[in-house]
């Protein structure tokens, strides 16, 4: 397998202006497997200038033509699925089965966006003032600068590229410095589909490439999927530059509420998937469980059995269920949370396998955690979940809402009234009943509170990449 090591700017493959490169390690081994151009401010400026120059023509291109490019891209990704999955698996350390699942979702997401973009319309065309007709248009903003994370590198990039380009904006995308390769493969597949400058990829770190992109005065909108701290950095950059629009998909700490009437076996299966899928590196990961005392022991016993059955083998093997985390630093951070949870003295750890190579860490359930413990309140972003017992007297909804995060939550119950009231009381952008994790492109994904603002996927995402314009026509001129 060869990995693209150059950036894609103005329709050309290019090295960093100063020729700098980075070594990228495979999380399974810790050994370097590829090199990547280490971009800088000059590269961002080049890409933004190209995107700016390409904007007027792209904005005037009929949406049907833009959509056709996306439909072709979807077909090409479908045909390239295996290669893309192998790149993602190697670069992120994902089991190949998970990487393939993601690659199978992507063409469907592209096709949804391509179709939905053609249904966009203004809300009014009427006479609100005598003799004058008002029309609402939805127009593109200009150059969008998007910054993507490392946990689902290609899927998250697709959620940014699709609404931005289909609504007539041009784009400069910065993948995470840890995981640039699937996005660069996408650029190879798309290179003849868009006019030069419409879609650009600049690789490099957040502190220089990312920071320049979100502070650039010709960038009219920045979108980020990343941590809350990076979201704050974008807000500051926007305030200090040109008040650009922000679309922020940030961290999460999803609660799972398991009531006495829950199907416990179902809950165990969904929690294991929700907590350990992608090594728990998921903003919607099932990371704090609130379990009623009447089903607590049964649920914990089920989790114990299932965690010990997680297979942390070779990520190229179809049966492997969990891989390592992304970097050595992240592994140490995750293990720090587990050690501090243990040091509280009131918890017990259930741990699965740890192959001990690369950046693997053992899947962990922290039983006996209390509301207020660090492990219950802070995003770990690794294969760790906590169990907190509740009784009839505890207001578990208040515990679930007692957080600055608000991305996702789930409720396990067979009582329809309880399910309905919980789904309205929980302050999270997604609430699942008797499930955890599935997403679909027709439905919005995004946070309440500090989990961000704006929605990915759905027609809401398309709307956010447009500006509303009122056109008023005076019909009384001679
Ligand atoms: P991160 O914030 O460290 O990095 C995200 C991206 O921002 C990277 O490309 C990075 O290079 C860039 N970046 C860093 N500093 C920057 C700066 N000052 N200016 C501009 N760009 C900068 O996040 P991560 O570690 O890659 O991802 C993990 C985080 O992402 C978690 O908090 C997770 O919950 C969140 N996340 C959220 C969603 C969602 O949909 N809400 C999805 C996936 C991940």
For ligand 1, atom 22: residue with the closest CA: 206
Residue of 226, 284, 378 to test ligand 1 pocket, by largest number of atoms within 8 Å of CB:
226
Residue 52 beta carbon below 6 angstroms from any ligand 1 atom: no
Q: CB of 177 closer than 6 A to ligand 1?
A: yes
Residue whose entry in the numeric block shows the structure tokens 């009131």 = 346
Tell how far the Cα of 3 is from the centroid of ligand 1, in angstroms. Answer: 23
Does 209 sit in the ligand 1 pocket, CB within 6 Å? no
C-beta separation of 394 from 296 below 8 A: no
Confidence of residue 430 (pLDDT cuts 50, 70, 90): very high
Do β-strands 170-174 and 199-201 pair in parallel, antiparallel, or remain unpaired?
Answer: parallel
Q: Given pLDDT bands bounded at 50, 70 and 90, which one contains residue 1? A: confident
Model pTM? 0.97
Asked whether the beta carbons of 138 and 120 are under 8 A apart, the reply is: yes
- Nearest protein CA to atom 4 of ligand 1, as residue: 226
Q: Is the CB of 86 under 6 A from ligand 1?
A: no
> CA angle, corner 147, sides to 141 and 150, nearest 5?
150
pLDDT tens, position by position, 102-122: 999 999 999 999 999 999 988
pLDDT band, residue 125 (cuts 50/70/90) = confident
Among 287, 295, 223, smallest CA distance to 255 is for: 287
Cα(184) to ligand 1 centroid in Å equals 18
Model pLDDT, residue 122: 82
Provide the pLDDT for residue 74: 98
Rounded CA-CA distance 248/331 in Å is 25
Report whether pLDDT(210) > 90.
yes
Per-residue pLDDT, 321: 97
Q: Are 412 and 258 in contact (CB under 8 A)?
A: yes
Among residues 177, 249, 335, 464, which one is catalytic? 249
pLDDT at 121: 86
**Could you tell me the two tokens for 318?**
């179809």
From the CB of 450, is ligand 1 less than 6 Å away?
no
**Confidence (pLDDT) at 124:** 79
CA distances from 348 to 267, 374, 394 (A): 21, 15, 22
Helices (H), 194-292: 211-215, 228-240, 264-276
Positive or negative: CA dihedral 340, 343, 348, 353: positive
Band of pLDDT at residue 425, cut at 50, 70 and 90: very high
| Nearest CA, atom 13, ligand 1 | 206
Relative orientation angle of helices 153-166 and 181-190, to the nearest 10 degrees: 40
Whole-number pLDDT of residue 453:
95
31 is catalytic: no
Q: How far apart, in whole angstroms, are the C-alpha atoms of residue 132 and residue 346?
A: 71
* Any ligand 1 atom below 6 A from CB of 390: no
477: pLDDT confidence band, cut at 50, 70 and 90? confident
In the predicted model, what is the mean pLDDT of the chain?
97
The string of pLDDT tens digits covering residues 381-412 is 999 999 999 999 989 999 999 999 999 999 99
Each residue of 14-55: pLDDT tens digit? 999 999 999 999 999 999 999 999 999 999 999 999 999 999
* Interval between CA 225 and ligand 1 midpoint (Å): 5
């Amino acid at each position: 397998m060869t990995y693209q090591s150059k950036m894609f700017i103005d329709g050309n493959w290019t090295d960093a202006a100063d020729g700098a490169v980075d070594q990228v390690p495979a999380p399974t081994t810790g050994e370097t497997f590829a090199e990547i151009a280490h971009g800088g401010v000059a590269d961002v400026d080049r890409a933004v200038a190209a995107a700016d120059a390409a904007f007027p023509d792209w904005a005037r291109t009929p949406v049907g033509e833009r959509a056709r490019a996306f439909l072709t891209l979807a077909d090409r990704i479908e045909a390239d699925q295996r290669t893309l999955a192998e790149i993602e698996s190697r670069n992120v350390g994902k089991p190949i089965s998970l990487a393939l699942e993601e690659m199978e979702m992507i063409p469907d997401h592209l096709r949804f966006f391509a179709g939905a973009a053609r249904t966009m319309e203004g809300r009014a065309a009427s006479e609100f003032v005598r003799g004058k007709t008002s029309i609402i248009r939805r127009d593109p903003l200009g150059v969008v600068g998007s910054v993507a994370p490392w946990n689902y590198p290609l899927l998250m990039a697709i959620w940014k590229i699709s609404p931005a380009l289909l609504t007539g904006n041009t784009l400069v995308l910065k993948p995470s410095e840890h995981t640039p390769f699937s996005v660069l493969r996408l650029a190879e597949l798309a290179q003849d589909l868009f006019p030069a400058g419409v879609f650009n990829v600049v690789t490099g770190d957040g502190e220089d490439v990312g920071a320049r992109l979100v502070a650039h005065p010709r960038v009219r909108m920045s979108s980020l999927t990343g941590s809350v701290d990076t979201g704050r950095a974008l807000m500051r950059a926007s305030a200090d530059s040109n008040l650009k629009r922000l679309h922020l998909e940030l961290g999460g700490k999803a609660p799972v509420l398991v009531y006495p009437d829950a199907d416990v076996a179902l809950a165990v299966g969904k929690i294991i998937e929700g907590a350990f899928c992608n090594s728990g590196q998921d903003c919607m990961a099932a990371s704090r469980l609130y379990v009623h005392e009447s089903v607590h022991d049964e649920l914990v016993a089920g989790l114990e059995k299932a965690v010990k059955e997680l297979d942390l083998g070779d990520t190229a093997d179809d049966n492997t269920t969990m891989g390592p985390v992304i970097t050595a630093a992240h592994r140490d951070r995750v293990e720090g949370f587990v050690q501090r949870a243990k040091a509280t003295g009131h918890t017990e750890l259930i741990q699965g396998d740890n192959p001990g190579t690369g950046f693997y860490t053992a899947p962990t359930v922290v039983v006996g955690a209390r509301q207020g413990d660090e492990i219950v309140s802070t995003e770990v972003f690794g294969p760790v979940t906590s169990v907190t017992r509740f009784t009839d007297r505890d207001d578990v909804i208040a515990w679930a809402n007692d957080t600055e995060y608000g991305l996702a939550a789930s409720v396990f119950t067979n009582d329809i009234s309880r399910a309905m009231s919980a789904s309205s009381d929980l302050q999270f952008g997604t609430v699942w009943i008797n499930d955890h994790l599935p997403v679909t492109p027709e439905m919005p994904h995004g946070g309440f509170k500090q989990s961000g603002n704006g929605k990915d996927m759905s027609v809401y995402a398309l709307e956010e990449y447009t500006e509303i314009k009122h056109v008023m026509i005076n019909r009384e001129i001679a």
